[in-house]
Structure 1
Amino acid sequence: MSQTMNDWMVQELPAFQTYREVEQAVLAEVEKTILGGRFLTTLHSGGFTAAQLREFALQYSYYSRNFPRVLGAAVAAVEPLDRWWVPLVDNMWDEAGRGNPKGYHSKMYRTFLESVAPDVAISDEHVPDYPVGGATKKAVESFLSFLKNATTLEAMAAVGLGSELFAGLVMGEIGQGLRHPNYNEETRVNVGFWMAHADTHEPRHYQLCKDVLLDFSSPEHLQTIYRAGVTIALSEARFYDELYVEMMEK
């Protein structure tokens, strides 16, 4: 069974003296709930069937193409000052290939999707003709809901600590897992989307957020940053775990 909301909640907030301690605390949760979770463990062992891998690719398509909405919600949540919105829009500009249609992330993802779900029709806007599952919808809506009520600092921390801090690591792990021989016996899985994010995009996106967050070093600010970051990180952990459950039904 999928774990409940309470299973994922951090029961006590640590006391922080430095930003580095906040990073380490969030990464510890990521290590436990995402890197050590059922989805990545099974992926790396080659344990998914072709149908299950197909389901993952189709569901993650929705998650990926909704990330610009998340960034837009974060921009709406922060103060209209350059130091806050420019890093977020820079991240969004990467989603748009920095103006080059060949670099649209939706188009990059399509190359992966076509390699594992070649039977599914995909529109000119790179949207597969396939129903979106509950886990994926919940993950997107949870992020948007958090940002709707977030303060400026919480919004930046949610994107920075709650996503970009470990996005490159997790996406790299997914890319490496997809290279397992079990998934490449008949046709090769195209992992370009995953490795480009792991190697280049996400580390830079996180640094943009971190450069702002480092200015808030009081214990109270560090608590706020941690709380926002770990809330979104654990929401992503729930996404992978609940998606795993849906995949196993295929």
Structure 2
Amino acid sequence: MGAVYQKNDINELIKCHKLWSNPLLKMFTENTIELPDCALFFSQYSFYSSNFTRILATALAKCSDETARSIIVSNLWEEVGEKNLMSSHSRLFVNFLRGIGVQESPIQYLPITKYFVNSYLSLCTNSSFKEVLAILAYATEGIVAELYNIFIQGLSSCGVSEQHLTFFVEHIHCDHGHAKALEDALQWQSLDETCQQSCIKAINIALNLRDEFFTEIYKEIYGKRFSPILKGLLANGNDQAALKYDSIVSFEDQLTDSLLYENKSCEQSVNFSVKRFAIQGRVLDPRLLIIPAKCKNEYHKHAHEAFFYVISGMGQVRIGDEVQDIRGGSYVYIPRWVSHQTINIGNDNLKILAMTDYNLTKYFPKNSETSYRQKNLELVKLEGSEMTDE
């Protein structure tokens, strides 16, 4: 005999599903999602949103129970905006897409997007009446609040205003009620063991479909991020982008006029500036780090590795738990994702040429210029404590 599942058991199974550790959702929760990524993902998600009434209609056709049919009809009525088609949920989603810069022109849907939606429809079509209720109650309406709160978090981190998030907010407010009504209609406790097992299987299939869709979109996002640089790296022949620098022979004259970043905090003795060189490679991103006497930069980490060549001055480089003394002519290697800090212990400016591969690793999670280095001086911690890259 197998286990007879209680409602709490089902909710726990859903909570532990691999969907919630999906790399795409992590981009939203870790605030590494960017607006172009959101535009790509939600333009594809619009296919699911616009077809959701078909999923409900398919479920409606399967239902032999009048109470369940009335619940689904009520849901459908809300989806189409009740008496106002302009307030339909599909229209709200279109307005959201406009808010993140996606035009209403025909969207080219990816094969995985069509597969996801068509498979969801097929699952509902080929499932029993009770299995369909389980899919809607637990794997569809029941996950909306948690899922859409994750979306809102990432969208807000991208600067999307509240006025453009109406679609998600409204669904968070109403779909919990839909899920509860569907659960009650399913009458889980009265199901025999075989029916419970078949419903759980249907729930898992629905969650797996969504997880697979999210994973493939995640791959698509990073494919688009890396595509331009990979195209250049894999090109045969001379790199025309680099040839224009053949005549450059000077050093600091080739620094850009604007600062890449700087921080100053008298209380923490943090004072430094970083400039880029005009010369940029496909992968290499040379920089000049300047730290005034008796000052330092923050204790930080990032995805790009770096070679430091000390041009002038005296100092120390802390790498993890090790400290290395440096002076003019010294060189130091900084591995990826290892916390480090540079301290000027001399009486003159400490100047360091930092050769990084940031032009490649800026596409990595948590390694954009606005995420890996803390600019808020209130978050600078005392020397000896680790500054995270959050």
1:224 maps to 198
Contact 2:60 2:72 in 1 (8 A): yes
1:32-51 correspondence to structure 2 within 5 Å: 33-51=18-36
- 1:44-84 residue CA offsets vs partner (Å, 9 max, x unmatched): 323233322211121111111110011111112222x3123
Contact 1:58 1:117 in 2 (8 A): no
Match status 1:205 vs 2:178: yes
Match status 1:247 vs 2:224: no
- 1:161-199 residue CA offsets vs partner (Å, 9 max, x unmatched): 22111122101211122111xx11xx647222112212x
Scaled by the length of structure 2, the TM-score of the pair is 0.53
Larger gyration radius, structure 1 or structure 2: 2
Contact 2:81 2:89 in 1 (8 A): yes
How far residue 131 of structure 1 moved from its aligned partner, in angstroms, is 0.4
Match of 1:143 among 117, 120, 143: 120
How far residue 143 of structure 1 moved from its aligned partner, in angstroms, is 0.8
Poorly superposed stretches of 4+, deviation over 6 Å: none
Contact 1:65 1:106 in 2 (8 A): yes
Unaligned runs of 5+ in 2: 225-390
- 1:132-160 residue CA offsets vs partner (Å, 9 max, x unmatched): 11221111011111122111111111111
2:100 maps to 116
Contact 1:57 1:116 in 2 (8 A): no
How far residue 16 of structure 1 moved from its aligned partner, in angstroms, is 2.8
Match status 1:155 vs 2:132: yes
Distance of 2:21 and 2:5 partners within structure 1: 27
Match status 1:18 vs 2:6: yes
Contact 1:16 1:22 in 2 (8 A): no
Contact 1:55 1:247 in 2 (8 A): yes
Contact 1:19 1:222 in 2 (8 A): no
Unaligned runs of 5+ in 1: 1-13, 123-127
**Which gives a bigger RCO, structure 1 or 2 (Cα 8 Å, sep 6+)?**
1
Match of 1:106 among 90, 102, 108: 90
Report the 3-state secondary structure (helix = DSSP H, G, I; strand = E; otherwise coil) of the residue aligned with 2:82.
Answer: helix
Cα distance, 1:217–1:18 mapped onto 2, change above 3 Å: farther
Match of 2:145 among 168, 176, 179: 168
Contact 1:172 1:197 in 2 (8 A): no
Amino acid at match of 2:82: R
Match status 1:68 vs 2:22: no
Match status 1:84 vs 2:58: no
Amino acid at match of 1:107: R
Distance of 1:178 and 1:229 partners within structure 2: 28
Scaled by the length of structure 1, the TM-score of the pair is 0.81
Aligned length: 221
In angstroms, what is the RMSD of aligned CA positions?
Answer: 1.9
Amino acid at match of 2:9: E
Identity, % of aligned positions: 22
